Structure 1
């Protein structure tokens, strides 16, 4: 009888320990979330959106541990132009000159390391893959119970997106497109 009680206590302790340290996936609501991009050139800038295909955070005991996000590159949308100009720029961004969506329909961000900076801010290290090129990036993530947000600056030239880049082509003048583009990310879960 004592053996059965001890076995029951031991089994209960193991189960409670396992439950207490279980990592859970916190799925992102892709319809309620938004990613807005801004690309700049010598003569101005353009803005638009891109949709998430999927995304989740790994959370343990309310603490952020990691996550993974897939962007739908086929959804690149220009929001500051209309008509033919809008369609022309969207087509160009989707072409091999830029993101080559026919061969690279998705991009991926995988969080590899997280450190808490304050009650609502995490320092994040992640691997970003665009056009089969993967490079580490760092950013701060604002974290709330049902949402997260961040601002990212990405150097497109690291991902073989070189069109109009003064880093690779000389004498572009007013046609130079800056290598860095910005993302404003607002996630809901």
Structure 2
């Protein structure tokens, strides 16, 4: 190889390396995209727990006062983080009996939630698993009455779009928990220990870039 040929070869290799570096730099923002902040659209969110009442019927409690930090990465769900606080005292739940405070009072008592000492509950997601980006599982730590146990929910991403200039996502989630694990085993087994958890939610994200 002549000196001129060697020089040309080095020039070609340098050009290829430069193109590769430029491509890596161009791809870096997408690869390192940060999770985005979402918030509950409370007008289109329902969070409930359902139990069997002595074999006669299925009854539910709806949690109505909650807030949280929802950092979602739609492309890489494992990078997401979710932390929700449920404010249970002072009307933080609804059981469908507006004319009868007796049952709500019992739920608030030491037999069950003991809201005088533990007015809030929290859920902190610890892992997300999905194979197709649309269905999967979310596991997290649920803390009630200063007792923490893991709960796993099956999650479906229903739709991603935008509304009123903001990103929007809709999810359905369901799972189970044994309430006695959190010190709320009152009246079991006549009233089922297992609770069916259900979440239907629409979340609002950042503004849509024009």
- The alignment's TM-score, normalised by the length of structure 2, stands at 0.69
Alignment match, 1:77: 94
RMSD: 2.8
Cα distance per residue 1:132-160 (max 9 Å; x no partner): 11001112111232111111211100001
Correspondence for 1:156 among 157, 171, 179: 179
Q: What per-residue deviation string (whole Å, max 9, x for no partner) do you get for residues 21-79 of structure 1? A: 22222222234311122222324332231124213432236332231122222212111
Cα deviation, 1:145-182, whole Å, max 9, x if unaligned, reads: 2111111211100001121124xxxxxxxxx2211112
Structure 1 match to 2:114: 100
Unmatched runs of 5 consecutive residues or more in structure 2:
1-20, 161-168, 204-210
Counterparts of 2:125 and 2:150 in 1: how far apart (Å)?
9
Matched position secondary structure for 2:185: coil
Mapped contact 2:75–2:133 kept (Cα < 8 A): no
Matched residue SS, 2:102: helix
Unmatched tracts of structure 1, length 5 or more: 1-8, 167-175
Q: 1:101 to 1:31 in 2, by over 3 A?
A: farther
Partner residue, 1:21: 33
Aligned residue number for residue 66 of structure 1: 81
Distance 1:116 1:43, change over 3 A: closer
TM-score (normalizing by structure 1): 0.76
Task: Give SS of 2:121's match.
Answer: strand
Q: Is the 1:156–1:180 Cα contact (8 Å) retained in structure 2?
A: yes
Offset at residue 82 of structure 1 (A): 5.3
